[in-house]
């Protein structure tokens, strides 16, 4: 289930920190986040930036394959994060490379969630399935 798409963030220069807050997501839910990266600097030899990613204050890691200085390069970072009690997810990106290779680009963010039924619901589904199997054997 697609929950949210953020608009283009464009590019990061050396040391830039940019945050985006996604709201209206299910509260306290594990979500999958996909960040689409790439570059637009062919021939400039400066689209080699790396991005440190944080989700709701928790360090996710370093995305060091955002771009490789080719105009046609695109990359995808995929990770899981938890929304907060208000159904928000704050994503923070910090460009970590110093000059002369400072740029990294983000084209979009996709957040999806798969809500998993509570254990009681799963139990009821299991009992119903067994009842159907038993009924089928009796017939």
Q: What is the pLDDT of residue 3?
A: 46
pTM value is 0.72
Q: Supply the CATH number for residue 56's domain.
A: 2.60.120.260
Q: Tally the domains of the chain.
A: 1
Task: In whole angstroms, give the CA distance from residue 19 to residue 133.
Answer: 52
Of 32, 40, 31, which is closest to residue 8 (Cα–Cα)?
A: 40
> 11-22: per-residue pLDDT in tens?
778 888 988 888
How confident is the model at residue 122, as a pLDDT? Answer: 56
What's the rounded mean pLDDT across residues 53-75? 81
Model confidence at 123, pLDDT cuts 50, 70, 90, reads low
Q: Give ∠ CA 57-20-50 in degrees, rounded to 5.
A: 75
pLDDT band at 126 (very low <50, low <70, confident <90, very high): low
Is residue 90's pLDDT more than 90?
Answer: yes
Which residue range(s) make up the domain with 131? 2-138
Give the tokens for residue 128. 């119903």
Q: Widest CA span of the chain, in angstroms? A: 76
Q: Is the pLDDT of residue 37 over 50?
A: yes
Quick one: pLDDT band at residue 36, thresholds 50, 70, 90? confident
Return the structure tokens found at 16: 């830039």
């Amino acid at each position: 289930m697609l929950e949210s798409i953020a608009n283009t963030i464009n590019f990061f220069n050396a040391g830039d920190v940019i945050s985006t807050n996604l709201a209206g997501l299910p509260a306290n839910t594990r979500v999958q986040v996909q960040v689409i990266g790439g570059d637009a600097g062919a021939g400039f030899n400066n689209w080699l930036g790396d991005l440190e990613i944080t989700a709701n204050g928790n360090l996710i890691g370093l995305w060091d394959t955002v771009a490789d200085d080719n105009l046609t390069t695109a990359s995808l970072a995929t990770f899981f994060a938890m929304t907060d009690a208000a159904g928000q997810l704050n994503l923070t990106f910090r460009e970590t490379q110093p000059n002369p290779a400072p740029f990294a680009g983000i084209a979009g963010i996709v957040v999806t969630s798969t809500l998993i039924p509570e254990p009681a619901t799963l139990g009821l589904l299991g009992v119903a399935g067994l009842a159907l199997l038993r009924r089928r054997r009796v017939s």
